[in-house]
Structure 1
Amino acid sequence: RDGQPRIELPLCVGGENKILGIVPVICPDPQGSFKAGTPVRVSCSITHEKLLNVIVITGETKQTAKIFNPLANTEVFTQHRELLEARQALNESILKNGRPEVDDLKKLAQALENAKCWREAAETMVTIVEQFKYSRKNFATNITYFYAKDGDSKNSDKWAEEAYKSSHGSISAYNLALSRKRNGNNKSYEKLMEESIELDPSNYSTMLAYGYYLMDKNDENDDNDTRGREYIVRACDILSAALLEEEL
């Protein structure tokens, strides 16, 4: 159609869901756009480095792209297309600069999270922190969560400690509390859960988990049972209000 300043050409093998890569073509005139019916010519070749070299000629515009793993032939569904594009952008930045751009790594980490590739998302963020010297404050909590989702309690515990030190708050206290409980330190768990609620009285995740914990304690302290119920009721009230406001 008329009026497109940018078009994207998906390269597929064997079906529209088997995408090798996506080649963006930008109109050379910053104020202009492509016209409907503009011819598009695509030519491809495999380089000595086993890259797919793609040349796209659109009208008088010529653009070139290189795609890694051109012989890959796996089916890609909608939820993974963002991940494919992020990987391609990262590979292109490596080819161009000899090393990845941090913005491309951030986009890849986000795409990996959306695709539920938890371990790779965590490792991508660790790369950002360690190689680019970014503050742990901005990433440690997410790294903790991603490793936990992947079932890697060792690394999750390590980054829970990092997050608590670098970005002290209700969520980091909650994550560290779970780590301490997993390692059998219930006293520290209780202290950190109390701290998490004190830092953010609206943290329903902490209140639910801690409320059930207090009610399940095998002791004769009625106060624990009462406090546990209060936390659970407060958490449910917060969730109900959020549901009514369509915030969930």
Structure 2
Amino acid sequence: MSNPLKMFDVKDNVALITGASGAFGMVAARVLAGAGCNLVLAAGNQQALDEIAKECEELGAAVVTVNTRPNDEASCDALVDEAVNSFGKLDILVVASGMNKVAPINEMAPETFDAVMDANVNQSWLLARSAAKQMKVSEYGKIIFVSSARSILGHPAGYTAYCASKAAVNGITKALGCELGPTGITVNAIAPTVFRSPLTAWMFEDTDEAKAVRDGFLTRVPKGRLGEPEDLAGPLLFLASRASDFYTGHILHADGGYTAG
């Protein structure tokens, strides 16, 4: 092994990222663009999609954008077709699309629960289904889901839908890891805890409210801090590259030790 860094080389790989305008999706887009991938970026927010696409192009990536959410079988198949038609193949799928709705169980409408499950579970399954059909042709592929520390931990503040959906993502990851392992496709998930993003920026602020919430949370984090976007970069590149060829059905907790204790 004269150059072990070659195992992490994804130059000229083709990556499809859904939810590319969201917190994790933007991290994935920047990391894979900087590493030399060609990108198909999908999201429902066209303005935000254009902004992250421009960033990735400035990093040297060839980028195709699709203003859509993976709501059904047809849209998922179309996204995979876009990757193949634009770049000739699909090597990496990052499912960063999803949603959360928070409410106590007696205040959450069944339709809301169903919407969270559809966005986080059904769409992950459909995207993997569409991608696997194409990846089997080349006998190679990396499917990466976004789970959460909440997939194995409860939460007192109305997280029944979110916790259940991310636990289901873990189940899909493990089942597909077993099913697709013999085909040359790996299926893994990254499960972060709170990390800096537009949605969580308030937790990083120097206010009494933010400090109280942050300090209470950090009593459970051995590393003693909240996550930064770069904390997700290494795990993502590992799971997207040949360095992880022997890893499948794995849930990688990017949480500073939060779920260890």
Q: Shorter-chain TM-score category? A: under 0.3
Question: Bigger radius of gyration, 1 or 2?
Answer: 1
By relative contact order (CA 8 Å, sep 6+), the higher-ranking structure is 2
TM-score by length of 2: 0.23
